[in-house]
Structure 1
Amino acid sequence: MQAGDISKVNLSEIQSSFECLQKNVDNKVSAEECVRGGKLIGIQMTIKETLKMISQINTDGTGFIAYEEYEQLINLKLKKAEKEKAMHLANFKKYDKDGNGSISFDELKMVLGRPGYGMTEKTIIEHFNNADTDGDGQISFSEFVKYFCEI
């Protein structure tokens, strides 16, 4: 993977996180360190997921990865996160009928109240109230993703 594939900001963050993780300064990190490094730059990874990714990119089979492999692993995870965000945003826009960046109760009702969804107004109210975690009467994009996409 070429450094040009990664934005300069991401590349700098990846380099910094790798440097913070190296306990013995041998230019290699473990799966556990990769998970911690991901958290440093806002990427959530499980040990299982990380071990699977490491097995696919680790060239020497040691279970430890060098910086270049770490950069590749983090970049793959960033690309996956970007694709997921784009998918969630496309779904969000189906509900945000007026395009103002939030979903009102009426907008949610307009979609979930259609034939085929089989939702009563009571159920829609319940979903709305559960999704609107800050209680502002609107469902923001982050609230939408957390409630409707990650359950």
Structure 2
Amino acid sequence: MANPSSKLMEFEQVFRLFDKDGDGKISASELRLCMGMIGEELSAEDAECLVESADSNSDGLLELEEFQRLVDAEGEEERRRDLRAAFEMYEMEGEGCITDKSLKRMLSRLGTSKGLEECRAMICRFDLNGDGVLSFEEFRIMMMV
């Protein structure tokens, strides 16, 4: 894992690449241009919305800290989508939660054989409200551990 100062230096390099005119700020058009260069098409309206969502001083431009918040927020949303997809694989019964049976079935598909009691014990460790199943939020917490 990269140390924080190394990560910041890498982030600053990315920021400078996006800052085409070198003014220390990224405009919506610069954001759109750079996203297009990496294969991510972004409409002018979407670029404006993204800048506006992170522009804390309302100047219509992203400074380094604002750009970092935007990237962090986008990364968090992507992680949440990935986690939701994983949750749905385990959920399998359309109940909006992971049960001991659905956990057992998914673990079997992954090549790990566990009995229902073992699955109940696994669920119990992260079942914060004591209902015997894992909600998405409980699953999210479990995956962070």
Partner in structure 2 of residue 56 of structure 1: none
Partner in structure 2 of residue 83 of structure 1: 78
Does residue 109 of structure 1 match 2:104?
yes
Residue correspondences, number:
99
Measure how far apart 1:132 and its partner are: 1.1
The Cα offsets for residues 51-80 of structure 1, whole Å up to 9 and x where unpaired, read as xxxxxxxxxxxxxxxx61111000010011
Does residue 95 of structure 1 match 2:87?
no
Greater C-alpha radius of gyration: 2
Could you say if the C-alpha distance between residues 94 and 104 of structure 1 is closer, same or farther in structure 2, counting changes exceeding 3 Å?
A: same
Instruction: Give every structure 1 segment of 4 or more consecutive aligned residues whose post-TM-superposition deviation is greater than 3 Å.
Output: none
Aligned AA (1:150): M
Query: Alignment RMSD, CA only?
Result: 2.8
Structure richer in strand, relative to its length: 1
CA contact (8 A) 1:113 1:120 kept: no
Q: 2: distance between equivalents of 1:107 and 1:68? A: 47
Q: Calculate the TM-score normalised by the size of structure 1.
A: 0.54
Q: 2: distance between equivalents of 1:115 and 1:76? A: 33
Higher RCO (C-alpha 8 Å, min separation 6) = 1
Percent identity reads 24
Q: 1: distance between equivalents of 2:115 and 2:93? A: 23
Q: Calculate the TM-score normalised by the size of structure 2.
A: 0.56
